[in-house]
Amino acid sequence: MKYYPHLDWARVILLLHAILLCSACGGPNNNGQTAQHAPTRQETSEQQAIPSPPEQLTPTQADSDGRGTLVGRVVFDGDIPQAQALTVSKDVEVCGRTEKFPEALLVGPDKGIKNAVVFLQTVAGGKSPSLPTSNPVIDQLDCIYTPHVLLVPAGATVDIKNSDGILHNIHTYSEKNPAFNTAQPKFKTVISKTFTQPEIIRVTCDVHDWMTAWVVVQNHPYYALTDTTGAFRLSDVPPGEYELKVWHEELGEHPRSVSITADQESSVEITLARAG
């Protein structure tokens, strides 16, 4: 072996040792790619132990909170009434543009009663009532109140519109809320009134005697208006025994006992008939 005195042999040995270590750590493989580190048993166990995301609940599962739902129909006992057209005797050029029929008792082909008000008498621990984001509206259009029955929470302000451009006169009949008798000429397109107490309020027009509407005020959210088939739905009701009331302007008020079961849908059918 030839000896090179000018070389620093200690540095040469350290350099060779570093080269050997780099080769063992996994440099580029034959394909020019960096070798991947194989996971240890401990690392694999830790990866398997990471919990998966929780199962997503449907809105019904997440929000029901053990409450139930009541669905049902209000139906008429008797022959379906045949409505006769109303006689328009005032402001015919506006009020006579459309044919008018009484709305006091509207019965569908399957005897479902429209515009019956269904509500629970007392609810403890239920949802709190909330005011609407915009004022509910009763419109006077073609000399008819629309809607015929309006449901609102206590404290709500109702906008009464005059879309006819003629003189109307709004007259309410109430006991708990202040009654008012107010002329609404064509230039006064909106009159706003607030109803603070639970009550069923009749509304008429002193200028056009066929015009009638109802404002039903409640202090809890468990009330509904039947549709053209007589159907209604009350949701998110705490389980328990309740007195259900059905009010109709011509057929009166009728109580009914109902039972609400947690996380279930109960059903009821209520039959109303004319007195006598």
Residue 38 belongs to some domain of the structure:
no
Residue 49 belongs to some domain of the structure:
no
Residue 10 belongs to some domain of the structure:
no
Residue 35 belongs to some domain of the structure:
no
Q: What DSSP state is assigned to residue 44?
A: H
Q: What is the pLDDT of residues 159-214, one digit of tens each?
A: 999 999 999 999 999 999 999 999 999 999 999 999 999 999 999 999 999 999 99
Q: Which domain, by its residues, includes 120?
A: 67-272
Q: E strand or H helix at 28, and its extent?
A: none
pLDDT lower than 70: segments of the chain: 1-64
Residue 223 belongs to some domain of the structure:
yes
Cβ atoms of 113 and 105 within 8 Å: the answer is yes
Residue 211 belongs to some domain of the structure:
yes
CATH of the domain at 79: 2.60.40.420
Cβ atoms of 215 and 201 within 8 Å: the answer is yes
Residue 191 belongs to some domain of the structure:
yes
pTM attached to this predicted model: 0.75
Q: Which residues of 88-102 are buried (b: 16+ CB within 10 A; e: fewer)?
A: beeeeebbeeeebee
Domain count, the chain: 1
